[in-house]
Amino acid sequence: MKAADIGDENRVLIENFSIALRREGATKSTITWYLNYTTRIVQRLQEMGFCETLDKLDPDTFDRLLIYLEDERKLSSGTIRNELIPKLKITSLNFEFGIINRLSDNEKYL
């Protein structure tokens, strides 16, 4: 993450997110996965012209990101639907509300 060109504000958000995950008892591998995952998401958002911080991700931009991942990055719609959407929503909710949400708490958003 330190080498990634994601901006200082996004870097601070992601670092704070990892601290919150650690405080919640997440394993080192889970924290590392989220650090890598959110860093890549910020990079994909920047590729499509979204230059705000991750906590400013709105529903319209989220939808454009999904289309970008399918059309430009060639991810299958099944991969996006089954793997990425829940994780993206959980990640963006975590940043938006500054808390760690569990998947079962967020099923209403899926």
> Cβ of 92: how many Cβ atoms within 10 Å?
22
CB 56 within 8 A of CB 47: no
- Which one is predicted more confidently, 4 or 108? 4
Find, among 20, 19, 26, 71, the residue nearest to 44 by Cα. Answer: 71
Residue 109 lies in a domain: no
CB 62 within 8 A of CB 110: no
Residue 38 lies in a domain: yes
Question: Structural domain of residue 21, as residue ranges?
Answer: 8-98
Residue 2 lies in a domain: no
pLDDT, tens digit (0-9, with 9 covering 90-100), for 43-93: 999 999 998 988 888 878 888 888 898 899 888 877 777 666 656 656 665
Q: Which two tokens stand for residue 27?
A: 């394993």
Residue 108 lies in a domain: no
- Which one is predicted more confidently, 2 or 97? 2
Residue 48 lies in a domain: yes
pLDDT at residue 38 greater than cutoff 80: yes
How many domains would you assign to the chain?
1
